[in-house]
Chain A
Amino acid sequence: MTNGSAMQWLVWKDFRMNRLIVFVGLILVAVPHTVALYAAWRGLGPPASEGVPPLAVFLCLSSLYGLALSEICLAFLGGNAIAGERADRSAEFLGYLPVARGRVLASKILAAAGIMALIWAPNLLILAASAWMVKPLGIGQRDLEFLWVALGNVAMTGLMFFCVAWLFSSILESPAIAACVGLITPFLLLGGLYWVSYLLDFPAEFNPAPWYCGLCLVLASLSFAAGTWYYLRRVEP
């Protein structure tokens, strides 16, 4: 590490700056699984369908819930990305060093990706294990569809969390405010969709999910692009 490349040092720095988020994320992931294990051990919960081990169901649900919970980390990662260094003014130290802004951003994205991979890895492993446990019984098509739709929504929400927080992190000096804006936006969007559907009197079977996913993707991409463009053009740290 003493002789590492610039990118290695930058990613290490960004990873280290977000250490608290890693810690919190792993706890957020551990809690639902702990509850699931406890419930399975004590035989709690609704009666399981024939032959399906309740543990598998619990773990599958807790994995999904854990994934959703851990997405809060995405908001804080995004919020802390640029504004975090402004809040403790270390951006002013980095600002005087000869490093291209593009590199600085690239390392932040890499660090964020690495952190989320670290937090999701146990979750995804457990999800895979629970799927393997129910595999012999065959999973219904509807269940699979539900799973994919759920994952899709969760992923899009997470993307919104990160990208909107990223934009505000680029503009503001407060990582907390940037993270909060990131957290609120998907809910505002969802609420807005329902409100619009009510006003425009959409049919009862209206399913906002695909609209939500689509809008999330668009807004997230725009926010990320805007945040990145602003930071690259800015001269001050």
Chain B
Amino acid sequence: MRIDPRSHVPIYLQIADEVRAAVAAGIYRPGEVIPSLRVLAIDLQVNPNTVQRAYDELEREGLIYSQRGKGLYVAEQGAASAHRRALDTVSRAFDQGVRCAQAAGMSRTQLDEVFQSAVRRTYGDGSQQA
């Protein structure tokens, strides 16, 4: 997991996004424990208060739950919620990209071309599903 202190996205949201992405990707499955506050704070080199905020947010939306003395676990509905939020993140990234395109004076057609070639690059040609 990495965070970018220079990004405009607040660090606690970045951490939450990273944890959601990890759950969505299946790195942490429902019922499994996620890194403790201490471990994550030291690993990412951020203030523990910030990690706490991220975890509070995730707990609030139901992605994780805490068991006293045992740590933080991924909730059963976690994966689904993570997917939803992952979509949100993608949507945000697209917003930013489209805004850049507009500022650069690109037309819709040009923008669509750019999008299609990016999809081809990552997902491959034709019918290969990600």
Direct contact of A and B (CB under 8 A): no
Residue ranges of B at the interface with A (Cβ–Cβ < 8 Å): none
